[in-house]
Amino acid sequence: MIDFGVLLDVQDHDTRAEQVRHRRASLPQRNELARIGAELATLETAEAEVSARRHELARQEKRFEDEAALVEAKAASENRRLYSGEITNPKELQAIEVEIASLKRRQTELEDEAILLMEQIEPVDGELAALDDRMAALRTAQTAATEELAAAEAEADAELVTVLDERAALATSLDADLLATYERVQAQLRGVAVSRLVGNTCDGCHLALSAVELDRVKREPPGVLVYHEECGRILVR
């Protein structure tokens, strides 16, 4: 005699196991981690672009500063020549004074350019700081979401072990051929293999049996497996 109650219990545990697997696969923390990862990737790209812009500004600033330093050194050298006493020719001395003045003007121009670049770097540093703050906050949220996901997965795994253990214990009381038939139908349907006949309706596909099929099903002895012709599920009367 087939114990359809146990068969339904096995089906119930398989359904619960699938629900737990689905819940585990669709935990909200997964979406949150994906969102955070995408935003971090966008911010990292932006940071790389801003860093490159800052690097170029700093490179130009250093170039002007280095050139200004060279001009300053040249002016200092000319100034030493001017007051060294080694040159006595008035025209040559005048030429040196003109050269020194020109060098000073050039030094001022270069230093002004360097200052302008320094001023342009300041807001860029602000952009980088804001990006760093946002990424730090996201990484903190990422760590929290990762921990929450791990905890939720562990909870689901523990529940799944319990359901499968209970299912295994129930399955041992079923005839091996019946269990094999059930599992074959379940694999074919990818889900519910056993459903109740409620009135004239299959509780698995929710379709009504025709009068002819309903009469055929009801005429079968209680211990015989019957199937719903429409969906192929085992019917429990």
Give the per-residue pLDDT at 222: 77
For 54-68, the pLDDT digits (tens) are: 999 999 999 999 999
What b/e string do you get for 1-24 counting C-beta neighbours within 10 Å, with b at 16 or more? eeebebbbbbbbbbebbeebeeeb
> What is the domain-level CATH number for residue 31?
1.10.287.1490
Do 68 and 181 lie in one domain? The reply is: no
Q: With respect to residue 70, please indicate whether it lies within any of the assigned structural domains.
A: yes
Give the pTM.
0.73
| Distance of alpha carbon 6 from the chain centroid | 43
For 176-220, the pLDDT digits (tens) are: 988 999 999 999 988 899 999 999 999 889 999 989 898 888 888
How many domains, the chain? 2
- Domain boundary residue, one of 127, 158, 189: 158
Q: With respect to residue 135, please indicate whether it lies within any of the assigned structural domains.
A: yes
The residue behind tokens 């007051």 is: 83
Give the per-residue pLDDT at 230: 86
| Distance of alpha carbon 8 from the chain centroid | 40
Give the per-residue pLDDT at 129: 98
Do 34 and 139 lie in one domain? The reply is: yes
Q: With respect to residue 164, please indicate whether it lies within any of the assigned structural domains.
A: no
Domain that holds residue 230: 176-236
CA of 34: how far to CAs of 39, 49, 130, 235, in Å? 9, 23, 22, 43
Biggest CA–CA distance in the chain, Å, is 135
For 103-160, the pLDDT digits (tens) are: 999 999 999 999 999 999 999 999 999 999 999 999 999 999 999 999 999 999 999 9
Q: What would the mean pLDDT of 89-112 be, rounded to a whole number?
A: 96
CA of 56: how far to CAs of 62, 107, 176, in Å? 10, 22, 75
